[in-house]
Structure 1
Amino acid sequence: MLQLGRILCARGFSITILHTNFNAPDPSSHPHFTFRSIGDSFDRSEAPPSDIPGLLLLLNTRCASPFEERLQEMMSSPGGDSVPVACLISDSLFSFACDVAERLKVHALVLPVGSTTSLYVYTILPILN
């Protein structure tokens, strides 16, 4: 996603990253991006990093509301300095993002950002079923 952000930024787009505190990116590594944290309201004891399905379920459950609130703040901040959102680009693992975009009438693009192997597995699963 960050590589895509760099490509879009090089083409003139302004990039804002909405992220959790759980695995926050380093803003100094991407000085041309704006970073805004959303409250993820959980700690590592609730879903240890080894429990990937539990962690994703927790993120999708607990991050939808704070994500929507932060996006609304960006789009309608007081004083007229709202940020136009051309498109919301989300990882396919965060299913809540598309629902939020639909409610806020924001164009959305959902990308599976897993490895090439994962993409291959996704294409093979229907055949295996």
Structure 2
Amino acid sequence: MPVDGNGIAVATVAAMLDNDAGGERARVLAPGEVLPYGAAPVLVTDTTLYGTSRLEATLRRWGPLPRPWLVLVADAPARPVQDARFLVRALEGRLAGVARLPYLPVLRAVKGPDEALEYKDVQTAAEKLRRTIEGK
């Protein structure tokens, strides 16, 4: 579920988690779409202060749904700003866990997630992401 827009990072995270299952394991929910019964929610945002602020607003309205995982996608090859780091730490108690994706510069130059997954650094990040969320 995108927190602050449905861009290449969100589409790539969905493809990483789906792992060639044809949308059976993971897919992006449309705005207002109901979370399917038994699904494990995953929120995706970038490491900007804006993205983490949108995450906070989303969690305020979360309600009785299962606690979501957060996939935090680095938007630059540097650490997130201090306020964004602090906000994520403050929200961790409302999350099932936090998985961090490194900055993947190739996402700026691909037409879609399938093309992105052809790159070794994206494949490596995908394997680490799946291991983190699946607890392996």
TM-score bracket, normalised by the shorter chain, equals 0.3 to 0.5
Higher Cα radius of gyration: 1
Taking structure 2 as the reference length, the TM-score comes to 0.37
Q: Which has the higher contact order (CA 8 A, sep 6+)?
A: 2
Q: TM-score, normalised by structure 1?
A: 0.38
